[in-house]
Amino acid sequence: MLDRPDPPRSRWLVLALSLAALACTRGKTDTTAPDGGTPPPVVADSSSSTDPEPPQDACRSWADLDVSTLPPLPQTPYTATLEQVWRTVLDKHYDPTLNCLDWPAIRVEYGGKLTEAKDEAAAYAVITEMLGRLGQSHLAVVPPRQRVAGEPRAAVKSGDARVPVEARVIDGEVVVVDDALDGHRSGLPRGAKLIAIDDAELAEIVTGMKERHPDREVEATFAVRRTVTSLLSCPTGAKRRIRFEPLGAKAPKDKSVPCQPIEAERVSLGNLKNIPAVVEHRMLPGSKVGYIAFNIWMLPLVPKIEAGLEQLRKQGMEALILDLRGNPGGVGAMVVPVGRLILSEPADLGTMNMREGKQTFNVSVGEDPFTGPIALLVDEGTASTSEIFGQALQDLGRVTVFGAVPSQGAALPSVIEELPGGAMLQYVVADYQSPKGIAVEGKGVIPDTVVPETRQDFAKGRDPVLEAALAALRGKGK
């Protein structure tokens, strides 16, 4: 049995971070813009709102739409916000056809729905529903009074503290997979089923997310995980009332658990503010296998990853486990310097396709890259830049991927902007294709080795995915 290493502190905040600065600041390898054409302006009216998706042969670019010809929307306190969100997507989404939607008709449809919104929450729900019509990740708007650390899409109101426990969905139940975080113990047993957090019944949340995401279990699981993380977040000094059922118990128990402060270095970039950033490394007992985990893709972590890798090599590391479970992504530019640490030949880590051109993640060879075998770990919380990195290395044959489930399948590069009044908007600016032309969005990184997880495993303090990766590396003589 192998004890499960303490997860990076960032799993305290399940954040799905964007490829923020990269899409706006880097040069392009191909400046040929998509063929938008010059179709005549379209003026939508409410009669088209019942069927905004045009026939396939009518799919057209909205790049040259003359917005001055559009009809005015009914005025509400939130109409200007909806207009700005709608216009930002119109102007900056990588696909000028916007998935073949009738975007002007959608503007009229949701502008009308705003008149029925009775409060701010309802108004922003309308705007979020409008973005949802695109059917893609990395699209979200968060009201000004719900600002969060990290990207808006996660919408996790973190507070400044956390119940020191990590939970995930295993076989449809919210299960304690780690009973302590950052040295703070919760008193909740591993393998226990969480039933309620304060007044929130978790079974209802699980059922609701399955209904909202009927076609992708991994997406429903991640949504539950994100919601539970939010419920476990709290002010320092507060407590959360947890109802749980230990494995094998005949009745649930209740426990009031103190909230512990989040102690970690904070990093910021643009509108990504005060993100806890942690790198962990260690040699796994009884082996020559090193372990590295980091919680977010932010450039200040690169020297720490490099230093950790160097220390492990000095300790005789011959193989590496790179744990990206729960890592929601971050700045895409970071895949290049991290790639240089483990690639012995120049490599292409895939391409971002933007409206104005393309950009390829080209990696040159570092001074002394690690060349031993690498196992890469994923779960439903692995997203965005983590998926781009993982899929690219899987394509190149540089890593073997282990996990109980595919990664989240949310790999669209995006940008975060502040709207007038303080709301935050996250919107897509590119799609991504791996070196082999694989689109990770909606699919995720598929493990080479699928490792089932059970409550019994965690109750015994085991980490099945980590153990399987270690066994495979040992089988290679490491």
**pLDDT, tens digit, for every residue of 162-211?**
899 999 999 999 999 999 988 889 999 999 999 999 999 999 999 988 88
Could you say which of 261, 289, 317 is where a domain stops?
Answer: 261
Domain total for the chain?
3
pLDDT band (50, 70, 90) for residue 46: very low
Q: Are 440 and 408 found together in one domain?
A: yes
pLDDT band (50, 70, 90) for residue 282: very high
In this structure, of 30-34, 240-244, 316-320, 446-450, the range with the lowest mean pLDDT score is 30-34
The per-residue pLDDT for 266 is 80
pLDDT at 226 over 90: no
Average pLDDT, the chain: 83
Does 38 fall in a domain?
yes
Separation of alpha carbons 198 and 53, rounded Å:
43
CATH code for the domain of 316: 3.90.226.10
Q: Are 248 and 304 found together in one domain?
A: no
Higher pLDDT: 134 or 213? It is 134
Q: What is the mean pLDDT of the segment spanning 380-406? A: 95
Does 244 fall in a domain?
yes
Does 311 fall in a domain?
yes
Q: What is the mean pLDDT of the segment spanning 216-230? A: 85
CATH code for the domain of 243: 2.30.42.10
The per-residue pLDDT for 272 is 66
- What's the domain range around 299? 265-413+430-475
Please write the tens of the pLDDT for every residue from 82-128. Answer: 999 999 999 999 999 999 999 999 999 999 999 999 998 899 889 98
In this structure, of 229-238, 305-314, 319-328, the range with the lowest mean pLDDT score is 229-238
